Chain A
Amino acid sequence: AQTVTQSQPEMSVQEAETVTLSCTYDTSESDYYLFWYKQPPSRQMILVIRQEAYKQQNATENRFSVNFQKAAKSFSLKISDSQLGDAAMYFCAYRSTNYNDMRFGAGTRLTVKP
């Protein structure tokens, strides 16, 4: 079964600075999707960004971008110009192309310091 590992339980960043959250995964599949979700104190799960494994180009959504290294099975999230509203739990997730199972990492709690 696929596993997703987030090795940083907590991270902190200064407002306006850049921070990178790490994620690695284990799979034998060649085609799949990777996601970053944000969970603020409200508990709502918000999709931040999605990467399709067959695309070499790294996904970007405004201040959020990923560094997808397929051979290394690594999928990190970079947040530029960090804002106070970015403070949340961030979850990395893997989803197979062919199956309904979606696997989540344990999460990284991001603190943004003013």
Chain B
Amino acid sequence: DAGITQSPRHKVTETGTPVTLRCHQTENHRYMYWYRQDPGHGLRLIHYSYGVKDTDKGEVSDGYSVSRSKTEDFLLTLESATSSQTSVYFCAISEGGTGRSKQFFGPGTRLTVL
């Protein structure tokens, strides 16, 4: 299994509070991704990173920001959480940035915004 951890694994927070989710990898892969999973939608890409301090938006980036100061860590921040951001969040990594490279997923973080 790819060395990917996510923290926290579960979080309950209130509307309007800031939340940061962390993804940590031990594989030294260049590319890292944040997805959210909602019923009826599968997984949707929020943001991704193609190197330290290099990030770009995905399909559903509104309300989210990311940072990557080290190869091994990719942070997802909800500046002011809303109930629509209640979801399961997955981090993924890949060695390359195209379909030639497989993506490996972390265990997920269940976030509930009350």
Contacts and interface: CB of A to CB of B under 8 A. Distances in A.
A binds B: yes
A99 B105 contact: no
A97 B41 contact: no
B88 A96 contact: no
B58 A101 contact: yes
Nearest to A92: B42
A5 B105 CA distance: 21
Interface residues of A, number: 28
A99 B31 CA distance: 12
B100 A97 contact: yes
Contacts of A52: 99
Contact of A45 (B45, B48, B50, B90): B90
User: Which of B48, B99, B105 lies at the interface centre, i.e. has the most chain A CB atoms within 10 A of its CB?
Assistant: B99
A49 B50 CA distance: 24
Contacts of B58: 101
Interface residues of B, number: 26
B31 to A, nearest CB: 7
Contacts of A95: 98-99, 103
Interface in B1-56: 31, 33, 40-45, 48, 50, 56
B59 interface: yes
A98 B59 CA distance: 16
A21 interface: no
15 contacts: A1-B59, A33-B99, A33-B100, A37-B105, A44-B105, A45-B43, A52-B99, A97-B98, A99-B98, A100-B56, A100-B97, A100-B98, A101-B59, A106-B40, A107-B42
Which 5 pairs between the two chains have the least Cβ-Cβ distance? A33-B99, A104-B42, A45-B105, A95-B99, A104-B43
